[in-house]
Structure 1
Amino acid sequence: MDPNETSIRVDHVGVAVESVDEAEPVLTALGCEKVVDDTVEDRFRWVYYRLGGASRIELIEPVAEESFLTEYLDRHGPGLHHVTLEVADIDAVIDSLGGVGVDTIDRQSYEGWTEAFVSPRNETGVLFQLMEYTGAFTDGREFDEESFFMRGRRLSAGE
C-alpha cells in the first residue's frame, strides 16, 4: 500500500502522570480546554484536552494499584507515553508497516473503534497507537462528536 492512499492524522499525544489533578494546571496554563474526563474499567483515568482547533493532549493516570501504567511510571516516571494516530483504514496501515518489517501488536476491536499498537522497539522509539473509529464512538458517552473528534468528525478515506 502506498501510505498516501489512506488517511492518517495525529489524534493525540498521551502523557503518563501520577495525578491528573496535579498535572492539569500545566495544560491549563498552556491554554488547553478539558474535553473528556473518563475512567476505563477502574484501570486508568484518561483526560483529553483540546489545544486550539486541531491539537489534543491526553493525560493518563493509573487508578488500579497494579497495571501497565503503574509499571510504566515506575520504570520511566511521568512523560510521553504514546502517540495516537487516527487512521481511516487500519488494515491498510498495518499492511504498510509490515511491508517495511514493522509488526503491530495487541490489535483489539471494540464497539466503536479498532486499535493496534506499534511497539516502541521500532526505530523511532515511540509507542504508536493506531485507532480507526468504526462507528458511533461517542454514542452513550458524556461528550459529543464535535468536541471529541478533530474537526468535529472522525477521519474518512480521502481526507
Structure 2
Amino acid sequence: MQLLVLRLDYRSSTTIESLQRQLRQPNSKLALQLPHIPLLAYQNTSPLQLKATFEPIAKQAAVPSFHASDIGFSKEGARFYLQVQPEETLNELHSSLKLAGHEFSAASPGNPWQPRIPLIGQVPAPFWGPLFARLALEFSSLEGIGAALECWTVIGHRTSIEWSIFLDS
C-alpha cells in the first residue's frame, strides 16, 4: 500500500515525538512512525506515478496549517492519535490531491477523510486507560504547518519513504 502523508514542521514534530516516547511500552518492538497526517492511501500503485501526478499540486499549494487539541483512540489497531482541526489550506490540499489521484486504486474508497496525527498503535488493552490519562495530562494543544508531502510504502509493520516534496513557505 502507498500512503500519501503530510509531514509536519520541526516544532510540532518535536512535540509529537516527545509524546510518542512517553507512551511507548518498554518491551515494544514496533517502530514509531514519523509525525505526519495521513492524506490518501492507494493499492498497487507505482510511487513514481504518484509523484508525477502530485508534484505539480505540491509545488503550487499554499503551506497547510492545522490545530490539534483533542486526543482520540481507536480500538481498531488499538491506537492513540491527535484529532486535527484542519485550516482551509489543509482541506484544499487534500481535496486537490484526491481529485488528481482519482485514477489510482484507492485503499479505502468511500471512507470520509478524518485528519489525525497518529501517536502510537498496538497498545495492549490493560494500558488503554492509563495511557489515555497520561496523554490527557501531558498534552494541551498543538499548532503547526505541513513541511513536506511524502509517499510511503507500507507492508505489514514496515514503512519505507519513497519520495518527499518539500512545501514552499
Q: TM-score by structure 1 length?
A: 0.26
**Higher RCO (CA-CA < 8 Å; seq separation 6+):** 2
Structure with the largest fraction of helix: 2
